[in-house]
Amino acid sequence: MSERKPVVLVTGASGFVGRHVAPALASEGWSVRRAVRSPEGIGNEVIIESIGPDTNWQAALEGVDAVVHLAARVHHKREEHAAELYRNVNIAGTLRLARSASKAGARQFIFVSTVLVHGRSNEGRAPFCEDDILTPRGIYGMSKVEAEAGLRVLASDGDMKISAIRPPLVYGAGAKGNFALLTRAVNLGLPLPFAAIRNQRAFLAVQNLTSFILHRLAHPDRASNFEVFLVADREQVSTPEFIERLARASGKRPRLFRMSPALLSTLLGVIGGRDMHDSLLGSLELNVSKAIATGWQPRVSLDEGLRLALSAQDI
């Protein structure tokens, strides 16, 4: 008679991170139940058309031992007019799922938050750490702060172990956003005006995020029901060095030139707003000693993570 496999529900399983996490969980002996918006014919699927304060999770959570909550509202073209959408999905939806999971008897809940709960830059300050006073900017970051606060309260009233992970930019095969834009620019051989930038930024290979999630599921805290972690690659590098490493992984020659930081700052502010400006020019350093103290180590280096990211455009 075979031993029962532990069951994990993965929300956002069809997204960029989910497409890495779900198979990794399966390879570690978990029975993975994928929460998706529409059928994909991949493994054990449960259809959850929308996540919000009234979502019925009963069928999805039946017999579940753990939940990995990746799904979130991340970007909206008119963010300032989408406050209710962020509240419904990222706050009320997350807490509805967590309460339902606790009621269903799940032992662990992994919540992927964001480093943006700390703000977009730590320029002139020490690296961010988990105990900092949170200073989120933007509706997305604020929604994650409120979700974390609600999970902390829930953890204090129950037995389910909750881990909140705050990653920086996550890169890998299938990543979108700034990583996809930089990759396209490097592959096209476009000259990029970042040679004079002297910032320092944390990045996170999707393989390293995945390995930390697996580590937390395998090694839950005994003393605490709620823990927060900053997680990043071993190396934290400047924007021009990241582009140089990306070009090397692509087999391309980086085409970087110097532009006055003041002029570049103005141009990026006009083209992409404060978010693009801070993401490319600001510093974002993280103290990841708490994650390392759990016994976890990043599985891949920055160079290896970039090579894996470029080995396929999608997975």
Q: Give the model confidence (pLDDT) of 33-70 as tens digits.
A: 999 988 888 889 999 999 999 999 999 999 999 999 99
> Which pLDDT value is given to residue 1?
43
Return the domain boundaries, the chain.
Answer: 7-172+202-234+285-300, 177-198+238-281
Separation CA 90–CA 51 (nearest Å): 8
Q: Is the pLDDT of residue 314 over 50?
A: no
Separation CA 92–CA 267 (nearest Å): 37
> Which pLDDT value is given to residue 34?
96
CATH of region 7-172+202-234+285-300, choose from 3.40.50.720, 3.50.50.60, 3.40.50.300, 1.10.10.10: 3.40.50.720
Nearest-10 Cα torsion for 284, 233, 132, 18 = 100
To the nearest whole number, what is the mean pLDDT of the chain? 92
Nearest-10 Cα torsion for 87, 230, 7, 27 = 130
- Selection from 74, 11, 98 nearest residue 47 by Cα: 11
List, for residues 84-95, the tens digit of each pLDDT value: 889 999 999 999
Instruction: Name 231's Cβ contacts closer than 8 Å, sequence gap at least 6.
Output: 165, 166, 167, 204, 208, 209, 212, 288, 291
> Which pLDDT value is given to residue 264?
87
Q: Is the pLDDT of residue 212 over 60?
A: yes
86 part of the active site: no
Separation CA 294–CA 174 (nearest Å): 29
- 115 touches 74 (CB < 8 A): no
> Which pLDDT value is given to residue 153?
97
- 245 touches 203 (CB < 8 A): no
pTM over the 0.85 mark: yes
The residue behind tokens 């970007």 is 75
Which tokens hold the place of 290? 């708490």
Separation CA 192–CA 116 (nearest Å): 25
Separation CA 250–CA 253 (nearest Å): 9
- 13 touches 67 (CB < 8 A): no
Q: Is the pLDDT of residue 74 over 60?
A: yes
pLDDT, mean of residues 146-168: 96
> Which pLDDT value is given to residue 260?
87
| End-to-end alpha carbon distance in the chain | 35
- Selection from 168, 175, 53 nearest residue 121 by Cα: 168
Which listed residue (86, 140, 203, 296) is catalytic? 140
Separation CA 154–CA 188 (nearest Å): 49
Separation CA 229–CA 204 (nearest Å): 13
Q: Is the pLDDT of residue 109 over 70?
A: yes
> Which pLDDT value is given to residue 77?
55
